[in-house]
Amino acid sequence: MKNWKTAFFVCLVALVISNGYLSFQLLDEGITNTYKSETMEKQDEALRLLGEIIVEEGKTYTQKDILFLLRQKYEDGFIVEDSNSVSYQGIKFLFENDSLVSIQDIW
C-alpha cells in the first residue's frame, strides 16, 4: 500500500516541476517573439526609408549601372537581371525607361 503512495507523490512532483518548466518556456517564447516582431518592423521601416532615398538619389543610374555596381561589389553573388529589374539577395531594383523607380523586398 505504501508503494503506490510513494509513486503517486513522485509523479505529482515531477508533473508540477515539468508544468512549471513548460510554462516558463512558453512565457519566454512569447516575450522573445514580441521583441523579434518589433525589431523586424523597425528594420522594415528603415529599409523602406533607405530605399526611398536610394531611388530619389539614384534616378540617374541605369539598369546597367546598378548591375555593374552589384557585380563589382559581389563578384560571386547570384544576381538576376530581367528586362526591367535586377535582383540580389531578396532585393529587387525596378526600372522604367532605364531609370530606377523603386526597390522592393522580395522575401
pLDDT at 1: 64
Q: CA 42 to CA 59: how far, in whole Å?
A: 26
Q: In this structure, are 93 and 69 located in the same domain? A: yes
Does 51 map to a domain? no
- SS3 (DSSP) at 71: helix
Q: Are 91 and 103 in contact (CB under 8 A)?
A: yes
- 38, 67: one domain: no
Show the cell assigned to 107.
522575401
Same domain, 104 and 68: yes
The model carries a pTM of: 0.59
Q: Is residue 52 part of a domain?
A: no
Residue 77 backbone dihedrals phi, psi, to 5 degrees: -75, 155
DSSP string spanning 22-37? HHHHHHHHHHHHHHHH
- Specify if 75 maps to a domain: yes
Phi-psi region of 81 (alpha: psi -120 to 50; beta: other; left: phi over 0): beta
Domain count, the chain: 2
Please indicate, yes or no, if residue 53 is contained in any of the structural domains: no
* Containing structural domain, residue 39: 1-45
Of 87, 88, 102, 99, nearest to 63 by C-alpha is: 99
Instruction: Fill in the DSSP letter of residue 97.
Output: T
- pLDDT single digits (tens) 54-107: 877 777 888 888 888 888 988 888 988 888 899 988 888 888 888 888 888 877
Residue 22 belongs to some domain of the structure: yes
- What is the tens place of the pLDDT at every residue in 6-62? 999 999 999 999 999 999 999 999 999 999 999 888 888 887 888 788 877 777 888
Residue 67 lies in a domain: yes
Asked if residue 18 belongs to a domain, the reply is: yes
